[in-house]
Amino acid sequence: MSVIVLLIVAGGAVAAGFLGAFVWAVRSGQFDDMCTPAVRMLFDGGATRRPAPAIVAQMSATSGTTRFAGATPQDDEPRAGALADGVERLRTDVDRNRVDVSGEFGRCL
Amino acid sequence: MAVAPSALSHKADSPSCCRHCGDECGRGAVVSAHGSFCCRGCESVFSILTSYGLDTFYALDASAGESQKAGGTRDASRFAVLDDPDVASRLVTFDDGSVARVSLSIPTIHCVSCVWLLEQLWRFESGVIRAEVDLLRRAVHVEFRSGETTLRRIAETIASLGYEPVITPEDGRLSQPPPVRRLYLQLGVAGFAFGNIMLFSIPRYANGGPLEGGFQQLFDVLNLLFAIPVLLFSASDYFRIAWRAIRTGVMALEIPVALGLAVLFTRSIVDIATARSEGFMDSFAGLVFFLLVGRLFQQKAFARIAFDRTFRSFLPLSVEIEREHGYSSVPIERLRSGDCIRVRPQEVVPADAVLLDEAAAVDYAFISGEQTPVEVRCGTTVRAGGRVVGRAMRLRVAREVSHSHLASLWSNQVFGAPKTHWLTGVSARFGGWFTGGAITLAAVGAVAWWPDAAQSASVATAVLIIACPCALTLSAPVTLGTAMGLLGTRGVFLKHPAVALDLSRVDTIVFDKTGTLTTSGQGKVAPHGLSIEVLRLVQRLAAESVHPASRAIANGISELPHAALPDDRSVRDLSVTDVREEPGRGIAGTVDGQRVAIGTASFVATESRARVIGPADVTFVAAGSETGWIRISPAARAGVEQAARGLSAAHQLTLLSGDHDGERSRWDGLFGRRMHFRQTPDDKLAFVMAAQAEGRHVLMIGDGLNDAGALAAADVGMAVSDATACMTPVCDVVISGERLADLPALLAYTRRARHVVTICFAVSVVYNVVGLTLALAGGLTPLASAILMPTSSLTVVGISSGAMRWSARRMLPA
């Protein structure tokens, strides 16, 4: 029967681990806004943060889908194609999710 | 532009809709390579977005753009105040010298696209590291490098995207973590302990007796260990509130709750220590857990709505003051009478001041709810709270900010004392009886079992444990909290769940007129001395302006029941040239070759060089050789008259208006003799207080600051808000304008909520009677308590939230 003691210790440790994770999540603000993240996850690729400089250089060299502040806005054919594709994909995503999104909003706002 | 227009999904495909905001393009339309736009502002936002490759904005939501028509009147340097370190420090939440964080309130955030676009801020402004939108609070949190950009530039960039940040003294609250965090933690700890204690208690219950081999002792000690954080952390608020109530000599429902919890915990420790029983730790943790769940229902505050505005929230943070060498910006607290200030268009005059310019226009919408700007002349006093229209104005401060007419409204004591809810009083009385009753019963039990000291103590504590009014404490917050949440999704926002009960007791309803019963920008027009041909020209010219009176004229003429009126299309095709609009005075232009002027008598007289005569409250018109006038009677909100008629059976309705009594006959049928015109804010306040002195429960419905006193004094103050960005005065309920017609259903729903609370009270009293019988008979074992207490809590939560949801579907319009 002494194996139960072992189980209790193991079970308690797991439970305490989850409690710790929950405490961390609350204190780091993950429960502050229960609304916007649900909407944000639907965006395809729109980074909300400025990428580190190295990544910026790499991205502007390889992919044409992003343009950064400071870049002169002017026509650029290969980029236009990639961007149009991205917009199209995002639009279908959003169309598919529109009902859900507005439902989410009704709850939040 | 980088993307072929065909790749964009946008509702404004037809050329007459603005590509940015989707509004119809009038004659002021701007046609560029990107398509057509209703105004210059929309065009510039669109071209900024496309030039950065951010067209996705339009793909996310069909009506993504915010109309920028008002933008043209805003001053470009209006964010200069953010360069003031005093002001900036109120908004910046964190600054380590290189990286800073700021939270800005943006009331126009309304959809998925808004979130997306604002979070792309780093693409527009080079110093920005990250921007995060909080939809709930309608705010954006921006992290930026303070060396590379400034607060002012960030605000300007956001504004140039079409989202006007609103800077008020309350913005500090955006940076605080919401108070609900602590509740989540308390709930998490209590839930964790509850689950684990159950795990260690069930073996004993299943075994039918103490476990062998030392396990019972081990489990009991473990339970005790788990229960300690529940007592010290999760339940701490109940003890603190109860202690404060005892010290101040006030009764509260928390006192019997805290007493029950304390007895429960102490008795369990004693039982475990003496090995008398396994203790009540499972009941204890479960009780705290359910109590906290009830609190969670109550904390559903509408974070984006500020209910407690003072007059300061309506005023700017700083103002430009004239010095020997130009202007400098000072916080308005430092204004002294005699100072010369300059107030720019769309800004609010911070203190009562005398106009130094020849003429200007002021809109007192904040104060009176009346949106039509008023013309002021040199030497006239402009009252604090008036918003400048058209041109910037120079003023000499007459009274300091704290002595202005606006501030004196707030000095009334009704703003000082917090409103007491009916529920607070009732539950305090109830708590009193409950505590008294429980202690008496415990004493009776103790005496009845007396010779047996151990049993006597056990019965007495059992009574105190079971009498803990947990289910009672839960029923009101869960019912009312659910009701509050459901009303919120229907455009009715309560400040506190207890307001629902106050609403259910209302028997007198006082309406403000302008902005509450009527809306501006719509209405019936009655022309006088004008031919159909001229009316066409007037309609066409009025369509050029965004002024509420012009909008009302343009809409009103098109709705005139006259067979000879031409259809809208032919009116729209008339050519308009040479338009000149003077804010607060009128508009003139050449329509179809004829010179037309609409506006005040003096404006029309100067424009047309004709003599115009007519009543004082009308808009004058001159076209060619014809002169005449138009009377606009504002339209009642759709459905409001019918709603009021429905309410008049069970409620006493009164109309209080700051206006003249020109519309008396119109409201006669609804209010009869209960109409009072030319009411000052103090008159309104006095009226409400007089009604309350007669024992009436008053619901005041108003919109402007002129209702502020009455709203604060009434049992329930309900502020009508037409735009989400609209500033509402101190109130208990904010209702969106189009929901006002649902008022009878709302009041019925709150009465239902009261019945549900009563039913839950009855149910929990039944559980208490059963429990008390058991306790007095000496039969309250830990198992009985572990079953009885959660069951009663769950029943109450189930009944109250279920009934409110079901009723909302049946009673409230979607």
- Give pLDDT, residue B5: 36
The nearest alpha carbon in chain B to A52 belongs to B129
**Residue A33 and residue B135: Cβ atoms within 8 Å?**
yes
**Residue A46 and residue B119: Cβ atoms within 8 Å?**
yes
**Residue B195 and residue A15: Cβ atoms within 8 Å?**
yes
The nearest alpha carbon in chain A to B485 belongs to A107
**A27 interfaces chain B, CB cutoff of 8 Å:** yes
**Residue B59 and residue A68: Cβ atoms within 8 Å?**
no
C-alpha B674/C-alpha B671 separation (Å) is: 5
Residues of chain B with Cβ-Cβ distance to A18 below 8 Å are: 192
Query: What are the residue ranges of helices labelled H in B31-136?
Result: 40-51, 56-60, 85-91, 112-119
**Residue B112 and residue A15: Cβ atoms within 8 Å?**
no
Residue by residue, DSSP assigns B366-418 as HHHS--S-EEEETTPEEPTT-EEESS-EEEEE-S-GGGSHHHHHHTSGGGTSP
B126 token code pair: 């080079």
- The CA-based angle B360-B364-B365, given to 5 degrees, is 135
Across B52-61, b (16+ Cβ under 10 Å) vs e yields bbbbbbbbbb
Please give the span between the terminal C-alpha atoms of chain B, in angstroms, as a whole number: 43
Nearest Cα of chain A lies from the Cα of B183 at a distance, in angstroms, of 10
Report the residue from A23, A36, A70 with minimal CB separation from B133. Answer: A36
The dihedral through the CA atoms of B484, B488, B489, B490 has a sign that is positive
**Residue B135 and residue A1: Cβ atoms within 8 Å?**
no
Alpha-carbon torsion, ordered B88, B91, B93, B94, to 10 deg: -20
C-alpha B639/C-alpha B646 separation (Å) is: 11
C-alpha A71/C-alpha B562 separation (Å) is: 58
Contacts of B54 (CB under 8 A, 6+ apart): B117, B120, B123
C-alpha B338/C-alpha B335 separation (Å) is: 9
Contacts of B478 (CB under 8 A, 6+ apart): B294, B297, B796, B797, B800, B801
The dihedral through the CA atoms of B197, B200, B201, B206 has a sign that is positive
Residues of chain A with Cβ-Cβ distance to B181 below 8 Å are: 26-27, 29, 31-32
**Residue A90 and residue B60: Cβ atoms within 8 Å?**
yes
Nearest Cα of chain A lies from the Cα of B37 at a distance, in angstroms, of 21
> Strand (E) positions, B682-761?
698-702, 716-721, 733-736
* B interface test, pick of A2, A19, A101 with most B CB neighbours within 10 Å: A19
Report the residue from A15, A36, A88 with minimal CB separation from B115. Answer: A36
Q: Name residue B88's amino acid.
A: A
**A9 interfaces chain B, CB cutoff of 8 Å:** no
* B interface test, pick of A65, A72, A87 with most B CB neighbours within 10 Å: A87
**A53 interfaces chain B, CB cutoff of 8 Å:** no
- Give pLDDT, residue B184: 92
- Give pLDDT, residue A79: 41
Phi, then psi, of B552 in degrees rounded to 5 = -65, -40
Closest CA to B224 of B126, B232, B422, B692: B232
Closest CA to B369 of B493, B494, B519: B519
The nearest alpha carbon in chain B to A70 belongs to B126
Phi, then psi, of B544 in degrees rounded to 5 = -75, -15
- Give pLDDT, residue A45: 58
Closest CA to B333 of B356, B316, B345, B355: B316
Contacts of B91 (CB under 8 A, 6+ apart): B82, B102, B103, B104, B151, B167, B171, B172, B175
| CB burial of residue B626 (10 Å; 0-12, 13-18, 19+) | middle
Query: What are the residue ranges of helices labelled H in B249-347?
Result: 254-273, 281-298
The nearest alpha carbon in chain A to B9 belongs to A91
Contacts of B562 (CB under 8 A, 6+ apart): B532
CB-CB neighbours of A9 under 10 Å: 10
* A interface test, pick of B114, B184, B189 with most A CB neighbours within 10 Å: B184
- Give pLDDT, residue B227: 94
Pair B657, B514: CB distance under 8 Å: yes
Q: Which residues of chain B have pLDDT under 70?
A: 1-18, 20-30, 33-34, 38-45, 48-49, 51-77, 110-113, 168-177, 300-314, 365-372, 409-414, 416, 520-522, 546-548, 561-570, 572, 583-584, 704, 723-729
B439 token code pair: 């202690």
Query: What are the residue ranges of helices labelled H in B585-639?
Result: 601-608
Q: What is the DSSP code (8-state) at residue B679?
A: -
User: Which residue in the block uniquely carries the two structure tokens 């946008």?
Assistant: B10
Nearest Cα of chain A lies from the Cα of B239 at a distance, in angstroms, of 23
Cα separation values, B322 from B87, B280, B339, B377, B456, Å: 19, 73, 7, 20, 82
**Helix %, strand %, coil % for chain A, to 5?**
65, 0, 35
**A37 interfaces chain B, CB cutoff of 8 Å:** no
**Residue B56 and residue A88: Cβ atoms within 8 Å?**
no
Crossing angle of helices A3-27/B215-229, nearest 10°?
10
The ipTM assigned to this model is 0.72
User: Which residue in the block uniquely carries the two structure tokens 């949440």?
Assistant: B485
pLDDT one-digit tens code per residue, A59-102: 444 443 333 333 333 434 444 444 445 444 444 444 444 333 33
**Residue A107 and residue B489: Cβ atoms within 8 Å?**
yes
pLDDT one-digit tens code per residue, B157-195: 888 777 778 776 555 566 666 778 899 999 999 999 999
Closest CA to B128 of B105, B104, B149: B149
**A50 interfaces chain B, CB cutoff of 8 Å:** yes
C-alpha A4/C-alpha A69 separation (Å) is: 62
Nearest Cα of chain A lies from the Cα of B303 at a distance, in angstroms, of 10
Closest CA to B662 of B514, B516, B510: B514
pLDDT of A106 strictly over 50: no
Residues of chain B with Cβ-Cβ distance to A89 below 8 Å are: none
pTM: 0.75
**Residue A23 and residue B131: Cβ atoms within 8 Å?**
no
**Residue B59 and residue A91: Cβ atoms within 8 Å?**
yes
Nearest Cα of chain B lies from the Cα of A62 at a distance, in angstroms, of 17
C-alpha B400/C-alpha B336 separation (Å) is: 6
Nearest Cα of chain B lies from the Cα of A33 at a distance, in angstroms, of 7
